[in-house]
Amino acid sequence: MTITPFTAALNPIAVHLGPLQVHWYGVIIASGVILAVLLAVREGRKRGIDPDDIYDMILWALPAALIAARLYYVVFQWSYYSQHLNEIVAIWDGGIAIYGSLIGAGLVVFFFCRSRFIPVWLMLDVAAPTVIMGQAIGRWGNFMNQEAFGRVTSLAFLQGLHLPQFVINQMFINGAYRQPTFLYESTWDLMGFVVLMSLRHYPQLFKQGEVFLGYVMWYSLGRFFVEGMRTDSLMLLGTIRVSQLLSVVLFVGAIFIWIYRRRTNPPTDYLAGNPFRERTKLSN
């Protein structure tokens, strides 16, 4: 059965509030963040991390992640933004880099946990599965903006993937059907969420820090291949895809750190939780 192509794109505006336009991009990303925080709080309680500490950390981490994500993108697209300075803050139109957000948020997590007597590795472990779940949801914001797409393909190929018609319609971009790379990455991230959530409570399986390192390896592996299919990659020296290069560095680095920590000074089991929980309560 052949599906008749219908190429009307979805409206990226969710609602108009007077002169204010609320974009689906922002709504979807915010939904992913909220769900991620709720799941992190739930797991944090089990591991001896006070929910208030997580909420406090998020108040610092979210702005830092957003600013770093935009700066990362703008830096590698400076040839454009140097001529359109007024568009640098227009994040509602897309153009934020996940790797940039992870760098910004990671710095906040490090300094915040040091100040609250919370093991940094433990906090990263608690957050990692929820972060990759948030990334899976957030890619649908790219879908609504018709960005993060791949090379030209055919209607028959998209139909062969058994995609809903609204997804196929949205993949008609600039006069041609495109590979739904947003969907490939979203699916990979969702699989990573399921794997990490399923394994992290097995006794003596993970040392502190290894859930996070597992997340880094899983995400960077998938991102490397998906990035190779995209047509809007940030480039270095005109030929190197920045995200692919960073994915290789992170994947190899995570493996090295995992092995090094196990051989030199085996860390505490993940399920042991926060050894400083009483001191953390006093500091609050």
Give the pTM.
Answer: 0.88
> What confidence score (pLDDT) does residue 82 get?
77
> What confidence score (pLDDT) does residue 94 get?
61
User: Which residues lie below 8 Å from residue 217, measured CB to CB, with a gap of 6+?
Assistant: 250, 251, 254, 255
Q: At what angle do helices 98-116 and 242-264 cross, to 10 degrees?
A: 30
Binding residues: 139
> What confidence score (pLDDT) does residue 147 get?
87
> What confidence score (pLDDT) does residue 92 get?
63
Burial (CB count <10 Å: 0-12, 13-18, 19+), residue 239: exposed
- The whole-number mean pLDDT for each consecutive block of 10 residues of the chain, a chain of 284 residues, reads 58 85 89 95 94 94 90 80 76 74 93 93 96 95 91 95 94 94 96 96 92 97 94 81 92 96 86 73 49
Beta bridge partners of 271: none
